[in-house]
Structure 1
Amino acid sequence: MSPAACADAGTPGAVWMEECHACLGLMVDLAEDGANRFDVVHNNSLHNLPIAMAPALHVPVITSLHTPTTP
């Protein structure tokens, strides 16, 4: 992130951004090749990205919601 972005009080922290990009990378990988490697994906996270991207996967996604998703 740029110094200007880091200075913005509304910008998430660097760790959050790294984790978000890691989750996005995993979901893209599963969308491209997940059906060849897995029978089902069990999403047991609080992140909204696996839920939002589930339709892009060619393998069933089961989500366990223990609390509402977090922003």
Structure 2
Amino acid sequence: MDDDPWRTTEEVADWFRTEASTVRYWRHAGIGPRGVKIGRRVLYRDSEVKRWEREREAAESGAA
């Protein structure tokens, strides 16, 4: 079992309770979690999504 699974754009959107189009915009603008294009899909490592989430939390709290 993979301890750092891949997530689809839709799964990342669900994680943050937003639309897939928002996650695609974040990626295009360079402000979202780093994704990897595999075939026709962009996938995100679970650890990368969590890293980005922690970074955003720190920025919001002024700790960054």
Same fold (TM over 0.5): no
TM range (shorter): 0.3 to 0.5
More strand by percentage: 2
Q: TM-score, normalised by structure 1?
A: 0.31
Give the greater-gyration-radius structure (CA): 1
Q: TM-score, normalised by structure 2?
A: 0.34
